Amino acid sequence: MTPAARIQAAIELLAAIQATGRPADRVAADWFKQRRFVGSKDRRAIAERIWAVLRARARLDWWLRRTVAAGGEGAGLARRRLLAWLLLGEGLPTAALERLFDGERYGPARLDPGERRLVEAVADADGEADATLDHPEQPPAVAAELPDWLHARLAAALADAPGTEAAAELAALREEAPVDLRANVLKASREEVREQLAREAIEAEPGRWSPWALRIDGRKPVAASAPFRNGAVEVQDEGSQLVALLSDARPGQRVCDFCAGAGGKTLALAAAMENRGQIVACDVRGGRIDRAAQRLRRAGVDTVRRQVLESERDPWVKKHKAGFDRVLVDAPCSGSGTFRRNPEAKWRLAEADLSELTALQARILESACRLVKPGGRLVYATCSLLPEENEAQVERFLAARPEFSLLPVEGVWAEQVEAGRLGGAPPAPGPFLRLLPARDGTDGFFLAILERAVAG
């Protein structure tokens, strides 16, 4: 593809993402699937620009409003956002833009009067970009790339986090996330996986805490590598790995992954259990559970049974009351800890959605806790940074369920270190695990471990 054709393709894909409530990565995957003629290098260049625009949406729109270039919908808005990114994010000079937006076949149409005002506002007399994406007059929410209501909540929540600065965490949330991998120790050790990746020019460094974690620099073709194809490695944030490790699932136990989704934590639990025992992976979305089957086969895991639930109150729960040593509830949440990976998600989230999510989380906890044996553990986790989804949810549950008590994460962490399953000290003091992007280099996660009393 020519550079101009790549720009036009990016405009079309960006418009497709704007037009749907589906996650951007799924829209992009479908879009490229329908255009198999797009080569791998072109695909990478288009995708990188798309995600850059999504991460900078609030600041780009601020510049468009400031230069009277705002307006338009669909492809028109997508085009102006991409143009603003080329100017402010990539610093393309006017002459280069004119060559790209030349109206020729496969390329974007020529600049309209509003777009020219944007170019003139940010370029100097020589046509070079004279402004940057950030500007001192941008409101705090715009600078943080967040809706106003969500910025206020996150700023308050992060201000209370020990050992961190709210400004640094908010800044980290708008940046691109690193790529973490999990070595599948059912097939190969972490060092063996690292060597296999190196043979395919993918350099990886050990993670900070998880004995399975590897981190690679930049985006590499991991999915095309031999260790991925043979199930020796999975893409999984180190924070997500810690959730599975701190669940303390052991060989021979019965474990329920109550909100299993596509099975990422299910696979990690199976590795922790050395593929011995039984895991039941539950979810209300049958399609996601079905997609987990291929991952389980590739990983060599044969101890998982998939269970589709009609709702969190499915009769299956009552039938298996007190039947599990460990129950992991990785609850549906705002996803505010993963905005680096899903930058468009923050704009799909409304304040009313948060109330609905917290009510759903409470119902899920109340139902899933019935599955826990006396002496067993209920592990509650989210990828949220908001206290109403985290600490407040646990406090409400404990007040209503006195047969459960909180096990401080520090103690469980120390047990895992002693057993050689974890390394180092917990990221921060306190009874819960709370992971933060800037402080810890992971996605944002929350975890609480609740133990059911043994009947007297």
Encoded tokens for 85: 């990114």
Model pLDDT for residues 343-368, shown as the tens digit of each residue? 999 999 999 999 999 999 999 999 99
Q: What is the pLDDT of residues 402-445, one digit of tens each?
A: 999 999 999 999 999 998 899 888 988 899 999 999 999 999 99
324 and 204 co-located in one domain: no
Lowest mean pLDDT, pick from 161-175, 303-317, 372-386 = 161-175
Q: Does the global pTM surpass 0.85?
A: yes
**Mean pLDDT, residues 101-109 taken together:** 89
Least confident of 83-97, 99-113, 151-165, 355-369: 151-165
Residues 370 and 432 grouped into a single domain: yes
225 and 251 co-located in one domain:
no
Q: Which of 259, 282, 333, 383 is catalytic?
A: 383
Same domain, 271 and 228: no
Domain end (from 73, 105, 134): 134
The mean of the pLDDT values for the chain is 92
**Shared domain check, 446 and 316:** yes
| Domain boundary, last residue among 167, 202, 236 | 236
Tokens of 65: 């409003």
pLDDT in tens, 362-402: 999 999 999 999 999 999 999 999 999 999 999 999 999 99
pLDDT at site 325: 98
74 lies in some domain: yes
User: Are 242 and 232 members of one domain?
Assistant: no
| Residue 369 annotated among the catalytic residues of the structure | no
Edge-first strand listing for the sheet containing 204-206:
204-206, 213-216, 179-183, 233-235
Residue 50, in any domain of the structure: yes
CATH at residue 19: 1.10.940
Q: Quick check: is 168 in a domain?
A: no
- DSSP result, 104-172: -TTSPPPPPHHHHHHHHHHB-TTS-B---S--TTS-HHHHTT--HHHHHHHHHHHHTSTT--HHHHHHH
Residue 72 has pLDDT above 70, yes or no: no
Are residues 243 and 337 part of one domain?
yes
Residues whose CB falls within 8 Å of the CB of residue 304, separated by 6 or more in sequence, listed in order: 263, 266, 270, 278, 279, 280, 281, 292, 296
- Total tally of structural domains belonging to the chain: 3
Tokens of 446: 């929350």
The whole domain housing 366 covers: 237-452
Looking at the structure, tell me whether residues 298 and 210 fall in a common domain: no
Residue 157 lies in a domain: no
pLDDT digits (tens, 9 = 90+) for 227-244: 999 999 999 999 999 999
Task: Assess if residue 358 is contained within a domain.
Answer: yes
Q: How far is Cα 132 from Cα 89, in angstroms, rounded to an integer?
A: 7
- pLDDT, residue 124, reads 66
- pLDDT score, position 439: 93
Q: Are 253 and 325 within 8 A, CB to CB?
A: yes
- One domain, residues 123 and 187: no
Please give the biggest Cα pair distance in the chain.
83
pLDDT of residue 115: 87
